[in-house]
Structure 1
């Protein structure tokens, strides 16, 4: 299972009104991206889903269980890989299971590491990995968590354009194998279109859902899609919505 629902969620910090009546869903096995202007409250949505703060109003639920102000129900991948430098690749991947109080499944861990193209690096430390390799370890650590939904907060923003595209293609191949529900934050329209089933466009704060777009492109997706006419047309529509 893994259906996430936000219903009429609002949030302010003092006089700073960040979110206004946000309603969105991520269905089981779906990949949904959130795009919006800088400071529009995208990361605040993740903080509320993760239970770091309660919403002022509205309900956040996962498979019908209310998550308001409750932690431990999602897996989260931040912008930086956040790997422990004193732990090996295997130990970093197994951390998500350990935190949940589960005994790590070493066979599954090694399978995930191989699927990430990191065979031979099982006992390497983060200082021995490139930026893209660290991001792969961070993502498969999220996949290894028992939670059914993963929240990804601009995980590729620090990578160069070609490494970023390589990581996007890899992420899709892994996601299509394991099919966990994903909610993805990005400023990059190309990235949102290439990865997502649906895109939620936020306004400037206080953020409302301006528009929701169903991405029509079939899977699996290839890099050639990025320069196709339908892709560029939809990119222009999203850009216009963000600018208006």
Structure 2
């Protein structure tokens, strides 16, 4: 399972009114991205879903169970890989299962590492890995968690353009095998279009869902899509929404 729903969620921090009546959903096995202006409350949505804060109004549900102010129901991947420097690749991947108190499946761990193109680095420490390799470890740690929803907060923003595209292609190949539900935050319109089934465009704060874009491109997706006329037309549409 893995159906996440936010219904009429509103959040303020004192006089700072961040979210207003946000309603969105991520269906089981779906890849949904959120784009919006800086400071529009994208990360606040993740904080509410993760139970770090409670919404002032509204309801957050996973498979019909209310999550408001409840932790441990999602797997979260931040902008930085946040790997433990004293733990090897294998140990970092398995920490999500340790925290959740679930049985560690070393065979599954090694298979994820192999599929991530990291064979031979099982015993390596984060200091021995490149930026892209660290992000791969961070993502397969999220995949290895028992939770059915993964929230990704601009995970490729610190990478150069070519490494980022390589990571996006890799992410899609791994996700299409595992098909966990993903909610993805990005400032990059190309990235949102290339990865997603749907894109939610937020307004300036107090943020509302300004538009929902259904991405029409079939999967699997290749690099050539990025320069196609339909892709560029949809990119201009989203850009106009963000500017307006």
TM-score band w.r.t. shorter chain: over 0.9
Task: State the partner residue of 1:224.
Answer: 224
Q: Distance in 2 between matches of 1:98 and 1:222?
A: 36
Provide the C-alpha distance between the structure 1 equivalents of 2:184 and 2:123, rounded to a whole number of angstroms. Answer: 30
Q: What corresponds to 1:203 in structure 2?
A: 203
Find the aligned partners of 1:106 and 1:61 in 2 and give their Cα distance: 32
Residue 119 of structure 1 corresponds to 119
Displacement of 1:103: 2.1
1:150 alignment counterpart = 150
TM-score, normalised with respect to structure 1: 1.00
- Any residues of structure 2 matched to 1:1-244 within 5 Å, and which? 1-244=1-244
Q: Distance in 2 between matches of 1:187 and 1:26?
A: 19
- d(CA) in 2 for partners of 1:4 and 1:243? 28
Q: Structure 2 CA distance, aligned partners of 1:212 and 1:191?
A: 16
CA distance in 2, matches of 1:156, 1:93: 18
Count of matched residue pairs: 244
SS at match of 2:114: helix
Deviations 1:140-199 (A, max 9, x none): 000000000000000000000000000000000000000000000000000000000000
CA distance in 2: counterparts of 1:127 and 1:103, whole angstroms? 28
Q: Which runs of 5+ in 2 are unaligned?
A: none
Shift of 1:40: 0.1
Provide the C-alpha distance between the structure 2 equivalents of 1:112 and 1:185, rounded to a whole number of angstroms.
24
Q: Distance in 2 between matches of 1:13 and 1:242?
A: 24
Rounded Cα–Cα distance in structure 2 between residues aligned with 1:177 and 1:46: 24
Q: Work out the CA distance in 1 between the residues paired with 2:201 and 2:103.
A: 39
Runs (4 or more) in structure 1 with deviation over 4 Å come to none
> What do residues 106-146 of structure 1 show as CA deviations (whole Å, max 9, x unaligned)?
00000000000000000000000000000000000000000
Secondary structure of the corresponding residue to residue 238 of structure 2: helix
Structure 1 unmatched runs, 5+: none
Return the TM-score normalized by structure 2. Answer: 1.00
Deviation at 1:102, TM superposition (A): 1.3
Distance 1:204 1:120 in 2: 46
Partner SS, residue 162 of structure 2: helix
